Amino acid sequence: MSRYYTEDHEWIDVDGETATVGITDYAQSQLGDIVFAEVPATGATLKKGGDAAVVESVKAASDVYAPVSGVVTEGNDALEGDPALVNSDPEGEGWFFKLTLSDTSELDTLMDAAAYKAFVDGL
C-alpha cells in the first residue's frame, strides 16, 4: 500500500485500485476544532480536483477535493457522530471516504510523504 498527498492537504492510501482519502494532520491543525463533516454518498462519481466532501470548523466551512477520479465505495459514517475524529486521528480513524480509482495514472501527479513534508515546511 502506498500513501500519496496533495497540495490541498489530502492524503490517499492506495491498495491496487482501491483508495482511502482523508485530510492531513497539517490540514486539521490549520482548521482547528472540527464540528461537522459531510462525506460523499456511496456510488457518487468523483472527478479529480472536484468537490468531494465538506469539513467545518467552528469558524468556517472548507471543501475537501477528490485527489483522484473514481467511484465512492464508502463514506466514513463515524464522522457524523464524532466529527472531532478528524482532529484526534486525521490520518487514521478520521478518514473521509473510500473509492475505486478510475485512472491510476492520476497518482503520478501526487506527492509522496517526503515531498509533502517539504511542501508544508515551505508554507
Partner 1 sequence: MSDDEELELIEILEMPLDAWHRARGARMVEFAGYHMPIQYEGIMAEHSWTRENAGLFDVSHMGQLMLTGDGAAEALEALVPGDISALQEGRMRYSLLLAENGGVLDDLMVTAAPMGLYVVVNGAVKWDDMGYLREHLPDEITINHMDDRALLALQGPKAVDALLRVVPGVDALYFMDAGSFFWGPKTDPEPLWISRSGYTGEDGFEISVPATHAQKLAEELCAQPEVKPIGLGARDSLRLEAGLPLYGHDMNPEVDPVEGNAAFAVSKRRRAEGGFNGAERILKALAEGPSRKLVGFTVDGKIPVREGASIYSKNEQVGMITSGGFAPSVGAPIAMGYVASAHIAVGTALEAEVRGKRVALTVAAMPFVPHHYHRRGKSI
Residues contributing to the site for partner 1 (CB under 8 A): 32-33, 35-36, 38, 54, 56-61, 80, 83
Closer CB to partner 1, residue 4 or residue 96? Answer: 96
Residue type, 105: S
Smallest gap from residue 34 Cβ to partner 1 (A): 10
Of the candidates 48, 75, 53, the one whose C-alpha atom is nearest the C-alpha of residue 64 is 53
- 96: three-class secondary structure by DSSP: coil
For the four alpha carbons of 62, 65, 71 and 74, in that order, the dihedral sign comes to negative
Smallest gap from residue 58 Cβ to partner 1 (A): 4
Closer CB to partner 1, residue 24 or residue 57? Answer: 57
Contact 7, 119 (CB under 8 A): yes
Count Cβ atoms below 10 Å from residue 107 Cβ, excluding itself: 15
Closer CB to partner 1, residue 56 or residue 93? Answer: 56
Contact 115, 107 (CB under 8 A): no
Smallest gap from residue 15 Cβ to partner 1 (A): 31
Smallest gap from residue 5 Cβ to partner 1 (A): 22
Closer CB to partner 1, residue 15 or residue 63? Answer: 63
